[in-house]
Amino acid sequence: MSSSAHEFLTALRSAREQLEGLHRYDKALAVCAAGLARMQAVLARPPRVVILGEVNSGKTSVADLLLGVGLLPSSVVANTRLPVLIRYAEETALHAVAGDTRWLVTGESLDGRSAGPEVTALEIALPSERLKEFEILDTPARADWNGASTDGDIRIWCTVATRAWTESERVYWSGLPRRNWRNALLVATHKDALEEASDATKIEWRLRAAAGEMFRDILLVSATDAGKSRRTNGRPSDASAVTLLGQVRVWAAEIRERRARKVEKIVRRLARLTFHRLARGTLRLTEARILREWEGDCSSLIDGMGSASGDLASVMRELLRRFARAMELARSGSIERQIRWPGAATDAGTPQRGAPSRRFVKLIAADLTTLLRIELARGGLRDPTLFADYEAAQRILLPLARLDLEFDVVESLLASGRPLEAAVAAPSIEQVLLSLSRAR
């Protein structure tokens, strides 16, 4: 895992813990915490390498190569009858899986085929560092799947080099949905059974011609027969195992990186939505009126938004002006004091026109609404700890939503225009900007 991804994972964990540590129960916060936990799990799980292939095509040998230890039984005839998931753990353990249940297998209990539910899969946990980079799902031959899941991030299709890529393999593979081809590796095993070095080239040539389009890459490997202290056949193992491992590592890292970026986006969105749900308690009449007025302002501004390129800046300016007024009405002097200022949360820069810019303004408006609502609630709340919770939640959510990092956008917008004449006496646009920079 790259260091930035690691940092993000840490941030995620602490945010979730803080959220869970708040006093008050708030449904939105609970949902958010659960979501964060899920994202944390997604980030923590290494990409899954699924090893597929026809009967006895060297699947388990490939798993062995990836793992680097002769741990799995590899034999001639369809040895692995069950899907075997190999993943990292600090202690070695073997679990049997039957449907949704999963239990620890000790000693001989599996071999004895003890009574009980039909085991559908096995899980092997090993303290191997490599398994932190990727986990391995070694599947049985297709006939034995029994509907077991063979989903994964990286797919390795094994075929025997001396009879590589038959029609039945092609039919199966080309019948898969295209997305399965993206991180797919065609591995021709038992390269060591070939007699001449030039044979490997010929086979690779043929594979690239016949199946190149359906795989991201094609490799020939000498899968040594591991386990059971067997004799090895042919020449000593060559560099092919290293190449295979390297390839899988690079792809796994790539997938992780991509996944981290995706998770980050999701978390940002989740945090923001949660933020928008904060402080939904009942308001007193006066405060409710301020809120309604503000909401009315927002929708009329957004509805009136034209498609000219300058509109966005002017609408934003007006929005901020009205917001400042509403805040001042809610509690005079609040702008100066403590507001953390939300901003745009788009990666692609500020949209300049049309529907996207309208959505952008809407988001900002929603951010501002929440700020206002918290401020309005402050007066109505009997219990100060609840307000402290809101504030704490706000402190946690804003960085997660990256709202604090988006100030620049708004700031530059405001700076580009001429100074605003303040609608209300106290908070000038300069003050707003000041509070923005403070929050940063």
240-245: long-range contacts, CB 8 A cutoff, minimum separation 24? 240/191, 241/65, 243/219, 244/62, 244/65, 244/66, 244/187, 244/219, 245/65, 245/66, 245/68, 245/130
The nearest distance, CB 137 to another protein, in angstroms, is 21
Closer CB to another protein, 41 or 77, in the complex? 77
Amino acid identity of residue 425, one-letter, is A
Does the protein bind another protein through residue 346 (CB under 8 A)? no
DSSP 8-state symbol, 221? -
178 touches another protein (CB under 8 A): no
Per rule CB under 8 A, is residue 213 in the interface with another protein?
no
Distance of alpha carbon 116 from the chain centroid = 37
Among residues 160, 320, 327, 376, which is the contact residue for another protein, using CB under 8 A?
160
Is residue 435 near another protein by the rule CB under 8 A? Answer: no
Smallest gap from Cβ 228 to another protein, in A, equals 8
Q: How far is the CB of 56 from another protein (least distance, A)?
A: 5
Stretch of 164-172, 288-296, 312-320, 421-429 contacting another protein, by CB under 8 A? 164-172
How far is residue 121's CA from residue 140's CA, in Å, rounded to a whole number?
A: 10
Residue whose CB is less far from another protein, 206 or 280? 206
End-to-end CA, the chain: 29
Say whether residue 348 binds another protein (CB under 8 A).
no
Q: Which is nearer to another protein, 135 or 225 (CB)?
A: 225
Helix, strand, or coil (residue 183): coil
Q: For another protein, which stretch binds (CB under 8 A), given 19-27, 196-204, 266-274, 409-417?
A: 196-204
Q: Could you tell me the strand order of the sheet in which 121-126 lies?
A: 101-105, 93-98, 121-126, 84-88, 135-138, 48-53, 154-160, 184-189, 217-220
Q: Is 23 a binder of another protein (CB under 8 A)?
A: no
Least gap, CB of 173 to another protein (angstroms): 10
**Under rule CB under 8 A, which residues in 26-85 are in contact with another protein?**
54-57, 75-78
Residue in 124, 127, 88 with CA at minimum distance from that of residue 104: 124
Angle between helices 240-276 and 59-67 (to 10 degrees): 80
Stretch that binds another protein, among 123-131, 200-208, 287-295, 306-314 (CB under 8 A): 200-208
Binding mask 298-317 for another protein (x = CB under 8 A): --------------------
- Helices then strands, counting H and E runs in the chain, come out as 13, 9
In 26-116, DSSP assigns E strands to: 48-53, 84-88, 93-98, 101-105
For residues 81-110, which are near another protein according to CB under 8 A?
Answer: none
Q: Which of 165, 215, 275, 407 binds another protein (CB under 8 A)?
A: 165
Q: Which stretch binds another protein (CB under 8 A): 161-169, 247-255, 292-300, 355-363?
A: 161-169
Which of residues 113, 178, 179, 231 is near another protein by CB under 8 A?
Answer: 231
Q: Give the H or E element holding residue 185.
A: strand 184-189
* Interface with another protein (CB under 8 A), residue from 102, 206, 289, 395: 206
> Is residue 357 part of the contact set for another protein (CB under 8 A)?
no
Give min distance, CB of 209 to another protein, in A: 6
The binder of another protein chosen from 36, 51, 203, 429 (CB under 8 A)? 203
Distance separating alpha carbons of residues 124 and 136, to the nearest angstrom: 10
Q: How far apart are CA 294 and CA 300, in angstroms?
A: 10
- Does 146 engage in binding with another protein (CB under 8 A)? no
Question: Quick one: tokens of 336?
Answer: 């100066």
DSSP string spanning 58-123?
SHHHHHHHHHTS--S---SSS---S-EEEEE-SS-EEEEEETTEEEEE-TTTTTTT-SSSPP-EEE
Smaller CB distance to another protein: residue 27 or 231? Answer: 231
> Do residues 185 and 247 make contact, with C-beta atoms less than 8 angstroms apart?
yes
Contact 57, 189 (CB under 8 A): yes
314 phi, psi to nearest 5 deg: -70, -40
- How many positions of this chain bind another protein (CB under 8 A)? 42
Position among 149, 174, 385, 437 found at the interface with another protein (CB under 8 A):
174
Amino acid, single-letter form, for residue 202: K
Residue 186 contacts residue 227 (beta carbons within 8 Å): no
Stretch that binds another protein, among 64-72, 94-102, 163-171, 272-280 (CB under 8 A): 163-171
State the nearest-atom distance from the C-beta of 46 to another protein, in Å: 31
Q: Which of 108, 118, 151, 167 binds another protein (CB under 8 A)?
A: 167
- C-alpha distances (whole Å) from 175 to each of 63, 98, 143, 157 are 24, 28, 16, 14
Q: Quick check: 179 binds another protein (CB under 8 A)?
A: no
Binding site for another protein (CB under 8 A): 54-57, 75-78, 143, 160, 162-171, 174-175, 190, 193-196, 199, 202-203, 205-206, 209-211, 225, 230-235
